[in-house]
Amino acid sequence: MMDYLEMFSESLKTMAANKMRTGLAMLGIIIGIGSVIALVSLGQATSQSIQNQIESLGANLLTVEPGAARTGAVRGAAGGSTTLTNDDATAISNAISSGQINTVQTVSPEVSRRAQVTTGASNTNTQVIGVTPAYATVHKVDIASGSFITQRDVDGLARVAVVGPQVVSDLFGDGADPVGQTIKINGQTLIINGITVSKGGSGFSNQDDIVYVPLTTAQKELFGVSYLGSIALEAKSSDVMTDAQNQVGYFLLARHNISDPTQADFSILSQQDILNTASSATGTFTALLAGIAAISLLVGGIGIMNIMLVTVTERTREVGLRKALGAKKATVVAQFLIEAIILTVSGGIVGVGLGIVASYIIANLTSFPFIISLPAILLAFFVSAGIGIIFGWYPAKKASDLQPIEALRYE
């Protein structure tokens, strides 16, 4: 034990005497491990952010869309994009009331487009959704100021709107309360009745960057359409999601006079389907990022091997003297391996700290959740120690194979 303690102490002195070389050797490992932790954290934070956004759309959510996909036991084939109507949504509601569909509790017919929204000299391109009062229940939309779309607004084709916080910021400035003011969409003037509570998000999935208008107003006044873009359904519980898909699927097949489920002109997606797809995509993204970062670790290991080879060359006479005084091959190998392991473990500790700090900074800059993966930290750390052994072994073996007389003659 004493011999190893002495070798450890001597290794520290040797590295302290060559600070520049030691720092360069550690740098590759520090960057490699820091990159692994930061990029894995970014991948997991992205995944969590997407999952939070999907879950914020509503609980036990089913979405009926024009087109084709698997609808529980119902498989859809290629379909049109205008195959859902207000009558379909009304029929589903009536079927729920009569007990024909007993797994769904709320129906929300919807139509949406992106449109230019203006007020005075300000304008923004945002998503405009035509909704009924049920939308707030199904999608868990809360009002911060004013009120949401009412059934009276829908029945009367009212020219009113409810806007998200991002729309308020873009059109009126941060902290403004524009309830009662007007905006224009496709040449039509609408009065702002309410502002929604912030849900967060970014890009086209930003739940705060939406303008809600009465469904009938959107169809007849803004977009000039008679069909629906989708019908959102809230199942009674997560346990009946599949049954709800099947009940609604077969009900719509009968309404559309389609006897072959493979020819369905609609699709029904569950929230879990969307989550699974998103998780698969972000999992691949995270693995790709981790693979890129792992290359940095490999480069760092090669750098350590190169530095250790230089060290062996510089200390050839020292090795020769040791062997002339009776040092065994195993002792020489252990000496150089200890130095390599100290380099990688020290670099690993610093790299872990760097990765955590980088992850925190990324989370603050992107508004993603701050997530640190303990398995990624442990894996990166132990990989760094393994790199010390793997890439330190060859230089150590080369040093131990030196002949004492030849080593002592080395200039």
Given this model, what pLDDT does residue 68 score?
55
Return the ∠ at Cα 240 (arms to 107 and 231), rounded to 5°: 25
Q: Which residues of the chain register pLDDT less than 70?
A: 1-4, 6-7, 11, 53-59, 68-81, 201-205, 272-275, 277-278, 308, 311-320, 322-323, 325, 327, 388, 402, 404-411
Pair (115, 246) in one structural domain: yes
- What domain count does the chain have? 2
Instruction: Please check whether residues 399 and 326 belong to one and the same domain.
Output: yes
- Given this model, what pLDDT does residue 314 score? 67
pLDDT for position 404: 65
Question: Strands (DSSP E) along 2-120, which ranges?
Answer: 61-66, 70-71, 74-75, 104-119
Which tokens hold the place of 5? 């303690």
Same domain, 372 and 254: no
Cα 315 to the center of its chain, rounded Å:
50
Q: Give yes or no: residues 113 and 232 share one domain.
A: yes
Task: Please check whether residues 82 and 230 belong to one and the same domain.
Answer: yes
Task: Confirm if 307 and 15 have CB atoms less than 8 A apart.
Answer: no
Contact 29, 301 (CB under 8 A): yes
User: H or E stretch including 368?
Assistant: none
Asked if residue 291 and residue 206 are part of one domain, the reply reads no
Residues 105, 202 within the same domain: yes
Selection from 283, 272, 270 nearest residue 48 by Cα:
283
Pair (217, 260) in one structural domain: yes
> Are 27 and 122 in a shared domain?
no
Ordered DSSP codes for 173-186: -TT---TT-EEEET
Separation CA 28–CA 297 (nearest Å): 7
- With respect to residue 193, please indicate whether it lies within any of the assigned structural domains: yes
Residue 95's nearest CA partner among 250, 240, 227 is 250
Question: Does any domain span residue 33?
Answer: yes
pLDDT tens figures, 12-26:
777 777 777 778 777
Tell which of 264, 296, 327 closes a domain: 264
- pLDDT the model gives residue 288: 79
Q: What is the pLDDT of residue 307?
A: 72
150 shares a domain with 46: no
Within-domain flag for 151: yes
Tokens in use for 288?
Answer: 């790709």
Q: In which domain, by residue range, is 41 found?
A: 2-53+277-409
Question: Residue 58 in 3-state DSSP?
Answer: coil
212 plus 241 within the same structural domain: yes
Nearest of 183, 206, 181, 209 to residue 122 by alpha carbon: 183
Q: What is the pLDDT of residue 155?
A: 95
Q: What is the pLDDT of residues 244-299, one digit of tens each?
A: 889 999 999 999 998 888 888 888 888 766 667 667 777 777 777 777 777 777 77
Domain C-terminal end among 264, 297, 320: 264
